[in-house]
Amino acid sequence: MTPPIPDLSDANLFRTDAPEAVFEHLREKEPLYWNNGGPGEGFWNLSRYADVSACYRDHDWLSSLDGAIMGSSFGSDQDSARGKMLVASDLPEHRYFRRVFLGVLGPAMTQRIRERLQVLLARELGVMMDDGGGDFAHSIARQLPVAALMTLFGIGESDARRVVDLTDAVVGYRDETLSDFSMPEETRRAVAQIELLGFLDQTLEERRAAPARDDALSHFLAAERAGTLTRNEVLYNLVNLVFGGNETSAHTASGSLLLMMQEPSAYTALIDDPDLVPNAITEMLRLTSVAAYVKRVATSDRAMHGTTIKAGQTVLLWIYSANRDPEEFDKPLELRLDRKPTGHLAFGVGIHRCVGATPALAELETVLRAVVELEGVRLVPDGEPVRLQSNFIRGFTSLPVRVT
């Protein structure tokens, strides 16, 4: 029996396992599907791996100028970061922005983030061991973006936690645990955006008047002085850096632990041989697919699957679905630590592959090794996880665990 297709812009979509059947149907029967709901006049959806992968690379036909998220974070009709931010740009600007990012997100910075994260994790896991449990999403997973922000921005822990809170509020403006529901939806989103932009702008102003440091802020400000980036481009791309690292890394860590707890044999295998962690991370990235889709806009008419996508129409590339396509992955819903390296799309592909993939992998390896190397204990569920109310970020607002 064909399941009803929900509005794919619904923020409740990923709070249950219902999308599994929905996307299975779309892949098999309606690989190009028109959704009437959501912002604007509706949007197209691609769900098969082959289509998503090919269209991700077709940046001439599918433009990124309007940003990667439905109902853009910076404007409802046209993204104010259009052409000024890495994820809201096309070539040639995209190439310039990418070079600036890659200039700071190299091996040296990755190692510094890893070292700071090890310190934070040792402290927080120690508290969890003493308490016999806790909320992994709050106390452990959040250390990944905190460590990254402290290192990249050269800020203290309290300021880093504030930035994480603000990005959570922007992404989770439709989630009752992260946003003030006494305000209208659009007001909640606007307030969170303004507060985050205000904090970053103030921090930049302080750093403009201070000596340069070996961090991302100084790197971006040097690009501003050299004329590579404008003042607004510096601000918007720092926002890009914040969101790209904060939301995905923490939620992937929580999702990975949940997979391990749901598959005790895999958890045991990792405890017995922590050197399996890097390969496990590849599989967990595929299964968690925290960024569920990317948005694109067609620049010209094109026929696909017996119909025509018209110029100006929005197309969602469903990474979540592509990474579960049985045409690409054998038994795709299974967690297989020995699965051969795959072309999962969790980091994107082509010129849009995540510039922060290297530090993200290092962060995930650090946290998972810390968990599986806990001496003589493991973490088990201590209540139901609470998923973030969002159709874009497949995350968790709570993941209660106990030590056993």
For 210-267, write each residue's pLDDT tens digit. Answer: 999 999 999 999 999 999 999 999 999 999 999 887 779 999 999 999 999 999 999 9
**What gap in Å lies between CA 277 and CA 273, rounded to an integer?**
8
Instruction: Answer yes or no: are the C-beta atoms of 46 and 316 closer than 8 Å.
Output: yes
Reduced to 3 states, what is the DSSP secondary structure of residue 393? strand
Tell me the range of 189-203, 259-273, 332-346 where mean pLDDT is highest: 259-273
- Paired tokens of 235: 């601000």
DSSP 8-state code for residue 302: E
Per-residue tokens: 220:
């971006």
Nearest one of 75, 85, 15, 80 to 40, comparing CA atoms: 75
Count CB neighbours of 381 within 10 A: 16
Which region among 152-166, 253-267, 331-345 has the lowest average model confidence (pLDDT)? Answer: 331-345
Query: At which residue do the structure tokens 């998220």 appear?
Result: 69
User: Is residue 376 within a helix (H) or strand (E), and if so which, with residue range?
Assistant: none
DSSP 279-347: HHHHHHHHHH-SB-EEEEEESS-EEETTEEEPTT-EEEEEHHHHTT-TTTSSSTTS--TTPPP----TT
pLDDT confidence tier of residue 3, bands split at 50, 70 and 90: low
Q: What is the rounded average pLDDT of the residues 15-28?
A: 90
Question: What pLDDT digit, counting tens, does each position of 84-123 carry?
Answer: 999 999 999 999 999 999 999 999 999 999 999 999 999 9
pTM: 0.94
DSSP single-letter state for residue 182? T
Helix, coil or strand: residue 219: helix
Name the nearest CA neighbour of 238 among 38, 54, 84, 59.
84
The pLDDT tens digits of the residues spanning 47-71 come to 999 999 999 999 999 999 999 888 6
Q: Residue count of the chain, please give it.
A: 404
> Per-residue pLDDT averaged across 195-199, rounded?
92
